[in-house]
Structure 1
Amino acid sequence: MARKRDPRRDQAKEIWLRSNGKKILKDLANELNVSDSQIRKWKSIDKWSAELKGNVTNAKGNVTNRGGAPFGNQNAVGNKGNSRASPPLGNKNAIKTGEYETIFADMLSDEEKDIYSNLNDDPFFILNDEIRLLKVRQFRMMKRIKEAEKGLNDEEVERLQQLRKIKTPVEKDGRKLEIKREVMQDVQVTRKTFRKLDDILAIEDALTRVSNQLTKSIKQLNELSLSQDKKVMLNRQNEKLAAEIRRLKIQNGDDIPEVEDDGFIAAINNIVNDNEVWNDDNIET
């Protein structure tokens, strides 16, 4: 069952908007008996600032100013815009985690094309190479997390101002006088720093997926190794079984199908009949 919405949430928003955004969040929290962090959270989630900017009215009328040029304005006719406004082709500004970087064959460098053309189709090689690349990517993403944790902070400044009288020295008729005037002065400035978590959490989430992919690749490599070992063992067992069947047939006097001569038997016979091979003079002592 969903938790009931706190009525103070809407009340806080209404008070802050009525103050035209000048109400100090700390004072608002004390007024509604909630924590400062809760007020900041409501302000962020409910987009108080965006609503305040969207509802700015014209002092000389009762129609909300929607911004932009008036209807029928011809100022932009013939304007082609800034050709340099968009980033050049192949720009990497949008890459944040490096997990889903798009790769096009025609955009590869000469070095990358050489790697691409010399790729090996051997599944062992492919999996080993993928594991190495995933480990490099994992290392780079961990470095990005450390760099993001160093300096990415948000700072919120709260100012408490009061009307104060100050003395201003002036010169009149050759005499120096002090005139009192009222000005708004800061009597209290509070700075609060908050960790910017969005970028860090995004990289950590991508790092988790890369780590899972790395684990899966290692598992596939192990399974492939086991299947190859089983295949070799099975072939050896088949060869041993065939040799045993052949031996039994020879013992029973059964006809044995002739095996196609590949030249190996002839080579053995030549060695056996070669006197130079078996000459004692050729044996080193």
Structure 2
Amino acid sequence: MKEKVICGAKAKSTGKPCQRRALKNGRCSVHGGKSTGPKDKEKHRNSLLGNKNAVKTGEYETISYDMLSDEEKELYEQVPEDTVKQVKGRYNILEIRTRRMLKLWEDEILKDKTSVETILKIEDALARQDPRALELIREMRELASGENNADGSLDKLVMIIQQHRESRLSKK
């Protein structure tokens, strides 16, 4: 007679192995035996667009232009900028991220059961945005002043950025 193959997944509470019968992959249906993942990868990818379930403070939220609301696109276009495209784009995204974080903060304040812990996390994350913005503004200012003397070559621009970053790192 064939021996019963058990799942063996360890229970968190007791530490004992699961005694349910295992499927082909060695686990029972409760512990991942039936999970094969999404069949249509493109459909799964599309279902995740706009998913905000994991957003806590918004500080590390991935933001791309095509996923911005109309209001955010308008804000993106209105942010004052005067220098290199990549730095301006990073600054614009930082402004939008800050706005989204303020919206999360406002939503949390207006809840019936306000979570002080969540509010403090968002405020801490907002406080970390200011130095990033100042750093980008300094970088834009340096690049703008360096453009007047530059011969227009990309190599010169890369060198200016590298020198700026090295000087910042040496100050720390």
User: Rg larger in 1 or in 2?
Assistant: 1
| TM-score, structure 1 as length reference | 0.31
Higher relative contact order (CA 8 A, sep 6+): 2
The structure in which a higher percent of residues are strand is 1
TM-score, normalization by structure 2: 0.49
As a proportion of its length, which structure holds more helix? Answer: 2
